[in-house]
Amino acid sequence: NLQSTTTLHNGIEMPWFGLGVFKVEDGSEVINSVKAAIEAGYKSIDTAAIYGNEEGVGKAIAESNVPREELFITTKVWNSEQGYDSTLAAFEESMKKLGLEYLDLYLIHWPVPKQNKYKETWKALETLYKDGRVRAIGVSNFKEHHLKDLLEDCEVVPMVNQVEYHPRLTQTSLHEFCKQNRIQLEAWSPLMQGGLFEEPTLQEIAQKYGKSTAQVILRWDLQNEVVTIPKSVKPHRIQENANIFDFELSSEDMERINSLNQDKRVGSDPDVMN
């Protein structure tokens, strides 16, 4: 169900399912969507400093009736703030905006290899983790070679890697590498930002199970053991997206969806993103 969690390698429970709020405006839009999600039973919210909506996310949390400790809040340090001291400062800024005493998951948003600062940045995340400010730390948009490089020097192995992941980009070798290192994979743009709803195989499978195409894709994430955080600002879709715990895709249908892979990104390539 919606409360079901994956146990990260440090023992922290992270919900398999949550709400993404990329491109959701600060103020009433983000407040209403986070509230709608919490009312629908969501426990996990994924934001980032660069989304500019941490204040609204914080307001919605404060105004909701769910105790803080039942929620799982993720935010991310933006590229321009990478580096040890600047990351510590960025974290405090995010916490002030969110109005939280502690965070559940803090991520390095992009590796930005040209800056070559992700190791320093990671040290700041390790400090925050050891100081108990954040319950888990991780990375986002790290390819295998970025992870390998980080693993050579880190004290704490990242608990999560949040990457672009959907039926057109199944990241099988990265996923395998993450599993071997007990790094939980998390999908961003799981619905390929809306670009998959006309795909005939997905439509056919959806019809077979009496589910929507979105629900089939999100269920496929869970069965592949990938944490998923679809975005919607519409309450009926927020509810629809969460309604994926009452059916199971057969292994053949899982394979059919896996085979839609084209290694195709809709977002930036992490090696070139500045």
Residues that bind ligand NAD (CB under 6 A): 20-22, 46, 109, 140-141, 162, 188-194, 212, 214, 229-232, 237, 240-241, 267
Is 51 tagged catalytic?
yes
Residue 266, Cβ neighbours under 10 Å: how many?
14
**Opening angle at CA 94, ends 22 and 121, nearest 5:** 95
Whole-angstrom Cα distance, residue 141 to residue 180?
18
**Minimal CB distance to ligand NAD: which residue?**
20
Nearer to ligand NAD, 79 or 124 (CB): 79
Provide, rounded to whole angstroms, the least separation between the CB of residue 251 and ligand NAD: 24
Provide, rounded to whole angstroms, the least separation between the CB of residue 216 and ligand NAD: 11
Whole-angstrom Cα distance, residue 172 to residue 165?
10
3-state secondary structure of 56: helix
Residues 6+ apart with CB under 8 A from 25: 53, 56
Nearer to ligand NAD, 135 or 231 (CB): 231
The gap between the terminal CA atoms of the chain, to the nearest Å, is: 38
Provide, rounded to whole angstroms, the least separation between the CB of residue 268 and ligand NAD: 8
Token couple for 210: 């009496």
Provide, rounded to whole angstroms, the least separation between the CB of residue 274 and ligand NAD: 13
Nearer to ligand NAD, 22 or 84 (CB): 22
Nearer to ligand NAD, 140 or 171 (CB): 140
Cite the DSSP H helix spans in 99-143.
118-130
Query: Which residue of the set 51, 106, 118, 129 is catalytic?
Result: 51
Q: Which residue numbers are catalytic?
A: 51
